[in-house]
Amino acid sequence: MKDQSKQIYKRIKKEIKKTPLEYNSELSEKTGAKIFLKTENKQITGSFKFRGAISKLNYLRDLGVTNKKIVTASTGNHAAAVAMASQKMGFEALIFVPETISKVKLEFIKQYDVEIIKKGRYSAETEILAAEYAQKMNLKFLHPYSDPQIIAGQGTIAIELLEQLPELDAVFVPIGGGGLISGIAQYLKSIKPAIKIIGCQAHHAPEMIESIKLGKIVPPSEKNTIADGAAGGLDPETITFNICQKYVDDYVLLTEEEIGYALYQIYKTTQQIVEPAAALSVAAILKIAKDYKDKNLVAILSGSRVNKALFDEIIKRYRTDD
C-alpha cells in the first residue's frame, strides 16, 4: 500500500489539491494537546472523496477501458467526486442513490449533470444493487470505499500529513464505509507504526465499530444521525473491515450532542463550514484529548457538504449555550 499510494500520488498530484494542515490554537489550549486540522473540506468537490475517484479513473484509463460509462452508488460526496473526475477523464457516470435520499442531497448531486437511479432503502443496499446492475450491463463499478485504488487514493492524505507534520503522534479519522481510514492507516503504519490511528463514529451509526467488536459485519443501524455522511451501513463484503481490524488502534463513539458541539467549535475557531461527519474527528479529540497531552494530533475534516438549515440550527444552539 505504501508504494501504491506513492505511485498514485505522483499520477494525481496535479489533479488534486494539497489541502492545508492548520494549527488550531484555541482547540489546543482547550485540550492540552497540539491540534491540527487537515482541511479536506477544501478539496475539489468539497471532500476527500475526489482523491479516490480520480485515482480509480486514472487506473481504468491506464487499463485501456473502452466503455467509458461507469456506475457508482452514493448519497453525495462520492457522487460529486466521481462526476467531476469523470468529466476530467472522459468518462460518463451513472449514480445510484437510496430511495430515502433527502431532497437537499439529491439536488447536490443533480448539479453535476449525471444520470441518477433511485434504488435501495439505505446506502449499503444501494451499493449492492448498483454493483449488480454494473455486472449485468458489463460496466465498471466504482465502489465508494471497498476498492484498492479508491483506498490508495484516500491514502495520499497520509503522504501529505507526513510532509506537513513529520512529528505526528495520532490521527483522528471519521468512519463511514472505512475507505478513508483504511488508506490513511495502511500508509502511516507502513512508514511510522508508532503513529496512532483513531477511528471516529457516531453512536447512531456504529457499524464499523460494532463489526470489529463482533468479528463480523453487522447490519445497518436504523437510527438517524446528524453525521449522515458517515452512515448507511457496510457492504457485507467490504475489504475495509479487515484493514481496520489490522491497522486501526482505537475507536471513539460520539453522541449527537458531542458531534454538534464539535461542529460548533470548528466553526467558532476557524469560521469554516464543514459537514457533521467531518466533525466526528474533532469530537473524538475533545472527548479523549486528556490521553494525548502535549501530543501532535490531526483531525481529518473530511468534507464540507451540509444542509444549511441544519448547520445554522446547530450553530445557533451551541452559540447560545457557550
pLDDT in tens, 180-232: 999 999 999 999 999 999 999 999 999 999 999 999 999 999 899 999 999 98
String of b and e for 265-289 (b: at least 16 CB within 10 Å)?
Answer: bbbebbeebbbbbbbbbbbbbbbbb
Same structural domain, 256 and 291: yes
DSSP letter at 47? B
Same structural domain, 311 and 283: yes
pLDDT, mean of each 10-residue run, the chain (322 residues) = 84 97 98 99 97 97 92 92 94 94 84 91 90 96 96 98 98 98 98 98 98 97 93 93 98 99 98 97 98 98 93 92 70
Starting at the edge strand that comes first in sequence, how are the strands of the sheet with 69-73 ordered?
115-118, 92-97, 69-73, 140-142
Question: Which residues have C-beta within 8 Å of that of residue 199, sequence separation ≥ 6?
Answer: 173, 175, 181, 208, 209, 244, 248, 250, 251, 252
Q: In total, how many domains does the chain have? A: 2
> Is the separation of the CB atoms in 22 and 50 below 8 Å?
no
Assign residue 162 the CATH number of its domain: 3.40.50.1100
> Vertex 12, ends 14 and 97: CA angle to 5°?
115
Give the pLDDT score at 54.
98
Same structural domain, 167 and 268: yes
Give the pLDDT score at 1.
64
Instruction: Characterize the bridge pairing of strands 69-73 and 196-202.
Output: unpaired
Q: How many CA atoms lie within 13 A of 211 on its CB side?
A: 29
Residue whose grid cell is 460529486:
80
Q: Where in the sequence is the domain holding 165, given as residue range(s)?
A: 2-46+149-321
Same structural domain, 196 and 283: yes
Burial class for 19, CB neighbours closer than 10 Å (0-12, 13-18, 19+): buried
Same structural domain, 155 and 227: yes
